[in-house]
Amino acid sequence: MTSPADVPHLTPNQINALVVLMVEARRLTNVELRELAGFTLTGKDNTKLVDLGLVDTDRTHRPFAHELTDEGWRVARQLHTSPPPKQGGSTTRSLFVVLSNLHRSLDRLRVSHGDFFKQTGATAPAAGESRHEAPAPSAPAPAAAAPVSAAEVEALVRSAYRDLATAPGAWVGLADVRDRLADTDRAALDAALRAMVGREDVRIIPVANTKSLTARDRAAAVRIGNEDNHALAIGPA
């Protein structure tokens, strides 16, 4: 597993790729990377990020397309906790300052990076489509999807828990649950978690040792009563 301590061993181009893929929160082709940020992800830079498990690259057609893996998201969120690479110069150092302030603001707002950067259909062009091209004629937009019911959100939470827990009743961080459900509306997810507290098989608790909490843990907390809660356990009723 890659850690923020590995960041000094990444090149500025590799770091830039992680950041752009994070803030765009979607798969990007090399054409789009060049248009957005002035570089492409190829050669040794691409190979290293793929080998580290940080980026998934689709090489089945050209231009190649890249997307952050779950591990890539984790490392990208924590980039600012490591010193920038020395060869990066002032531009890379400035980027780390921005990331640090962004992280602090999201922590204060209790918004995850995934929720903050999540694309909508109106803002994300299709893979390979230039942002500068006139949009092609399209069919009328479909009717808005029906809101997801509370029962459906609870089912998503239970499914995410089963994927994450080492055993029934084991504690799982809400930060990990939120990452699994990044496409779920935060308000709906919070409401489902609050409702689930009343279930006999569900426990949601704060972490007693608050010094052990990361900014990610704090941002993912759900407010129940007058305290923030950070961990979920679902076991036999």
The pair of three-digit structure tokens given for residue 196, joined into one six-digit string: 């689930």
pLDDT of 171 reads 92
Average pLDDT over residues 117-121: 68
Calpha distance 186→190 (Å, rounded): 6
pTM here?
0.49
Average pLDDT over residues 224-231: 88
Radius of gyration (C-alpha) of the chain in whole angstroms = 20
pLDDT digits (tens, 9 = 90+) for 184-225: 899 999 999 999 988 899 999 998 888 888 888 999 999 988
Calpha distance 76→55 (Å, rounded): 11
pLDDT of 25 reads 85
